Amino acid sequence: MDREWLEAKLAAYPLYAYAFITTDELVFADRVRYICEHECPMYNTTWACPPAVGTVEACRARVMAYREGLMIATITEVSDIANIQETLSTRAPHEAITREITELIRSQCAQTLTLSTEACAHCAHCSYPDAPCRHPEKMFPCVESHGILVTDLAEKHGIDFLAGSNLVTWFSLILYK
């Protein structure tokens, strides 16, 4: 990966922060998966979510097949962070940026693994579990689905994810080799 080239490209995006990371920095925690299972309404509804993504151990092995990656974060101010609809409306622009930056990295690297936010919303109706994913190249599981403690990674890189009470922060991780 030509980091200088990529950083010049990243300058065109409204990113709050980004950091080059190594996968040995990642903390995998079963409690993150527990939250998926017990608190997320998307659990068991798409190919991008547990249990379809596999066990935390299987996810860890998938991630650790990569050595390096790029973490990106966007931040958006909303009028009331308790307004779920308004808060979630900030997700699509983050996903669009994640997709474009993934394509940039794909132009340089033979393999990528992108983990992003929430569940996959690419199709109006997910084919899960009756048929295979229609667009595996566009399907980005969320970081948490793989048991990754993203707050720990952000802290390690000095990224403040509690920047303000009405600020919505989204993270994506694009691994490459």
Interacting residue ranges for ligand SF4, rule: CB under 6 A? 46-48, 120, 122-123, 126-128, 133-135, 138-139
User: 48 vs 168, which CB is nearer to ligand SF4?
Assistant: 48
Q: Rank residues 62 and 122 by Cβ distance to ligand SF4 and give the closer one.
A: 122
Least separation in angstroms between residue 131's CB and ligand SF4 is 8
Q: Minimum CB separation from ligand SF4 for residue 106, in Å? A: 17
Q: How far is the CB of 87 from ligand SF4 (least distance, A)?
A: 21
Nearer Cβ to ligand SF4 (52/75): 52
Can you tell me which residue has the tokens 């993203």? Answer: 150
CB closer to ligand SF4, 113 vs 133: 133
Question: Per-residue b/e over 23-38, b at no fewer than 16 CB within 10 Å?
Answer: beebebeeebbeebee
In the complex, least distance from residue 155 CB atom to ligand SF4, rounded to whole angstroms: 30
DSSP string for 36-88: HHHH-TTTTSSTTSTTTT--HHHHHHHHHT--EEEEEEEEEE-S-TT-HHHHH
CB of 29 to ligand SF4, least distance (A): 24
Phi, psi (5° rounding) for residue 171? Answer: -120, 145
| 154 SS3 class | helix
Q: Which is nearer to ligand SF4, 49 or 148 (CB)?
A: 49
**CA–CA distance, 94 with 33 (Å, rounded to integer):** 23
Question: Collapsing DSSP states into helix, strand and coil, what is residue 127?
Answer: coil
Instruction: Please give the order of strands across the beta sheet that includes 68-77.
Output: 17-22, 68-77, 167-176, 112-115
